[in-house]
Amino acid sequence: MNTTHFKKLERMYLQANVNTMVFNSTSCNIKEGEAEIGLTISEKYFHALGAAHGSVYFKLLDDACFFAVQSLVEDVFVLTTSFNINLIRPVNQGLIKAVGKLKYASKEIFVAEANLYNSEGKEIGFGTGNFTRSKIVLSEEIGYK
């Protein structure tokens, strides 16, 4: 278990433009084959009916799966190749958390799944993603530091 790798990934996530400019209240905790991503819901994420837009669910679920996979790949960046999402119930307040876990790994292909929970611990969505290794080296230039 390489905790230095996990901390570099957490910093890379939290410092990414999308997380500092758009989703600025995120949290990230990475372990071997697992990742937890959190976001405090505010009105800026709402659709017309006053609840978080599905794109927020997708982002957190994809991120949790991505980092569960990336936790095991220390040389290159992984890429999402497909992702399926299921929305269970709306959310309009509180901290929501996506918990991702690696389900399958081969040399080039990875499958992960994540569940999204509201602040009361009720499941509000889930997703499964496929990932592959890229040719992009993990480096300081992409925030891996």
| 3-state SS, residue 122 | coil
The predicted pLDDT at position 96 comes to 97
Strongest mean pLDDT among 1-10, 17-26, 30-39 = 30-39
Task: Using alpha carbons, select from 17, 57, 65, 66 the residue that is nearest to residue 39.
Answer: 57
23-27 long-range contacts (CB < 8 A, ≥24 apart) are 23/56, 23/59
The predicted pLDDT at position 2 comes to 86
Domains and CATH numbers, the chain: 3-142 (3.10.129.10)
Percent of the chain with pLDDT over 70: 99
108-140 pLDDT tens trace = 999 999 999 999 999 999 999 999 999 999 999
Q: Which residue has the tokens 């009720």?
A: 122
The predicted pLDDT at position 138 comes to 97
- Average pLDDT estimate for 77-105: 97
The predicted pLDDT at position 75 comes to 97
Chain-wide mean pLDDT for the chain? Answer: 96
